[in-house]
């Protein structure tokens, strides 16, 4: 591949498009509106940057191509690499380990070897794309070794890393057999961004315990072969945001407003519509939420058809065992509740195993009186922010888990501990019957937070902080080893 020269190169596991290969071998793509894509697209368009990532199809070799104003550079992953690197190490080792071991993580040496090999490939492709002295922004847990590998190839570039998921406490991270290599991989960056302060603090503590490096607050000093300070790494919180204005505007369109009314009508015009929207993932607390709702119906504190729960669960990581098990559990639970408590034409739970375009999501948000975000652990949870951004009518109530990163900012939501089923039930009833003035007061506060902090600001702040990290050769006499 001929060397290119982009001042900003973004590297993430997935490219911001879904590529489809037809039977005749022809390739087409659609924009994929995932959380990360939504977050980065505005920066990429503004900066005319390049994006390095996997196309989403196994074994597919594609030349770089342009979509809108983004230059996309596909990385090829074979079927067996996807099994070991993506389904295995990323989603069956790191994902559960970093989410409070809600499911037990699996440790396989073979998966680790392939994770390393694939990270090396991403680093090489990024090294070919970035201009001299340019910036590379690496994303998420699938690519934690890329910063160090890239620095070895291109010591001239600034490297940022952003972890979209939680960073676990030392006591859990220490289980990872390759823990030191992962920490060293991340420390190849100049700036490591996390969703919450607690994540950044967990990381700094891990650095102190697993390496000999000196740290001072958010700063870590990297030493050269003689033990002299060589450069600094900053670990800090940059809570990710959404394109809130776009969501707000979309939800104000007559089409979306009409669709919201239609949805309520299709649901049988219930008094209260509860809504859950998640990837079908065991971190999201879907089982806890449905169980709490089922018990409320059994107790008679809520009833069908006055109240209904719409649960959108978009298919995710379907080749990983824990996800298959979750799907079975959720579908069994929904079937039981509907069988026991639903009525003809009025199921208690409307369960939808699909993903929907943004317009339909905005309409669903507007149709929902109560949004239930009950994650057991979540880096941020952008659905919570989307719901708020859509509610320009200042109505609707957000029930939000304390264990979602969003709870650090969205303190005016009805905060819950999803493990406490009795407390969760009370919160759902409270939100379903909330006084409209109280609801409005809460939603106004939430909207100020969400509309003031949009994703353009998030990426600007991250990139400005990356540029400001003291570079090589700058000594810091005040550091200490704590
Ligand atoms: C989370 C991760 C992302 C990931 C997304 C979808 O938000 O932080 O890195 O892309 O889930 O998961 P998938 O495995 O389908 O890419």
DSSP-assigned states of every residue in 356-411: --HHHHHHHHHH-SEEEE--SSBS--HHHHHHHHH-TTS--EEEEETTBGGGGT-T
Q: Per-residue pLDDT averaged across 386-415, rounded?
A: 98
Average per-residue pLDDT for the chain: 93
Ligand 1 mean position to 185 CA, how many Å?
20
Condensed to tens digits (0 to 9), the pLDDT of residues 53-98 reads: 998 889 889 999 988 778 999 999 999 999 999 999 999 999 999 9
The alpha carbon of 35 and the centre of ligand 1 are apart by a number of angstroms equal to 8
* 140 CA from centroid of ligand 1 (Å): 9
Residue 377, pLDDT > 60, answer yes
> Hey, which bits of 27-179 come out as E strands?
27-31, 50-54, 65-67, 70-75, 130-139, 158-162
CA 233, 237, 240, 241 dihedral sign is: negative
* pLDDT on residue 472: 59
Beta strand ranges found along 248-287 (DSSP E): 272-279
Any catalytic annotation for residue 226? no
Domains and CATH numbers, the chain: 6-240+458-480 (3.40.50.2000), 244-453 (3.40.50.2000)
Which residues line ligand 1 at a C-beta cut-off of 6 Å?
A: 13-14, 34-36, 140, 164-165, 316-317
Our CA angle for 186, 191, 192, nearest 5°, is 50
Q: Is 99 a catalytic residue?
A: no
Shortest-distance atom of ligand 1 to CA 165: 8
pLDDT per residue as tens digits for the range 423-456: 999 999 999 999 999 999 999 999 999 999 988 8
Cα 316 to ligand 1 centroid, rounded to whole Å? 9
pLDDT band at 152 (very low <50, low <70, confident <90, very high): very high
Per-residue pLDDT at 476 exceeds 70: no
What are the tens digits of pLDDT across the range 39-51? 677 777 777 789 9
CB 308 within 8 A of CB 273: yes
Q: In this model, does residue 399 exceed pLDDT 90?
A: yes
How far apart are alpha carbons 297 and 336 in whole angstroms? Answer: 12
| Pocket-testing residue among 13, 16, 34, ligand 1, by greatest number of atoms within 8 A of Cβ | 34
What is the distance between the alpha carbons of residues 136 and 365, in angstroms, rounded to a whole number? 35
* For ligand 1, atom 9: residue with the closest CA: 140
Task: Determine which one of 71, 164, 232, 350 is catalytic.
Answer: 164
Residue 261 has pLDDT above 50, yes or no: yes
């Amino acid at each position: 591949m001929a060397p290119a020269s982009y001042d900003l190169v973004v590297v993430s596991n997935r490219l911001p498009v879904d590529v489809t290969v037809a039977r005749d071998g022809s390739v087409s793509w659609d924009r994929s509106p995932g959380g990360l894509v939504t977050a980065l697209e505005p920066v990429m368009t503004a900066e005319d940057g390049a994006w390095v990532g996997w196309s989403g199809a196994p074994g597919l070799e594609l030349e770089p191509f342009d979509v809108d104003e983004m230059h996309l550079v596909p990385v090829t992953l074979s079927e067996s690499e996807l099994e070991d690197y993506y389904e295995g190490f990323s989603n069956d080792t790191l994902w559960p380990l970093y989410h409070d071991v809600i499911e037990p993580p699996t440790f396989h040496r073979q998966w680790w070897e392939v994770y390393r090999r694939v990270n090396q490939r991403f680093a090489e492709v990024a090294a070919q794309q970035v201009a001299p002295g340019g910036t590379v922004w690496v994303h998420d847990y699938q690519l934690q070794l890329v910063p160090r590998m890239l620095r070895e190839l291109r010591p001239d570039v600034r490297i940022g890393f952003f972890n979209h998921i939680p960073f676990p406490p030392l006591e859990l991270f220490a289980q990872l057999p390759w823990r030191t290599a992962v920490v060293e991989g991340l420390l190849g960056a100049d700036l490591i961004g996390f969703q919450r302060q607690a994540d950044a603090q967990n990381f700094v503590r891990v650095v102190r315990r697993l390496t000999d490096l000196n740290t001072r607050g958010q700063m870590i000093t990297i030493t050269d072969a003689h033990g002299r300070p060589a450069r600094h790494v900053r670990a800090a919180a940059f809570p990710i945001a959404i394109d809130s204005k776009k969501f707000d505007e979309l939800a104000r369109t007559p089409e979306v407003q009409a669709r919201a009314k239609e949805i309520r009508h299709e649901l049988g015009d219930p008094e209260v519509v509860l809504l859950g929207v998640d990837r079908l993932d065991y971190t999201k607390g879907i089982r806890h939420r449905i169980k709490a709702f089922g018990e409320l119906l059994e107790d008679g504190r809520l009833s069908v058809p006055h109240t209904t729960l719409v649960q959108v669960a978009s298919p995710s990581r379907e080749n990983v065992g824990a996800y298959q098990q979750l799907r079975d559990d959720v579908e069994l639970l929904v079937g039981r509740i509907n069988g026991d408590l639903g009525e003809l034409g009025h199921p208690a739970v409307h369960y939808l195993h699909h993903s929907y375009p943004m317009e339909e999501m905005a309409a669903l948000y507007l149709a929902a009186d109560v949004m239930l975000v009950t994650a057991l652990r979540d880096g941020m949870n952008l659905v919570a922010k989307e719901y708020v951004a859509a509610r320009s009518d200042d109505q609707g109530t957000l029930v939000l888990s304390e264990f979602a990163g969003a709870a650090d900012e969205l303190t005016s939501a009805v905060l819950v501990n999803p493990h406490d089923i009795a407390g969760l039930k009370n919160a759902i009833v409270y939100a379903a019957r909330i006084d409209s003035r109280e609801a409005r007061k809460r939603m106004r506060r939430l909207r100020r937070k969400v509309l003031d902090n949009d994703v353009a600001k998030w990426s600007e702040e991250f990139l400005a902080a990356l540029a400001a990290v003291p570079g090589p050769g700058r000594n810091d006499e005040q550091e200490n080893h704590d």
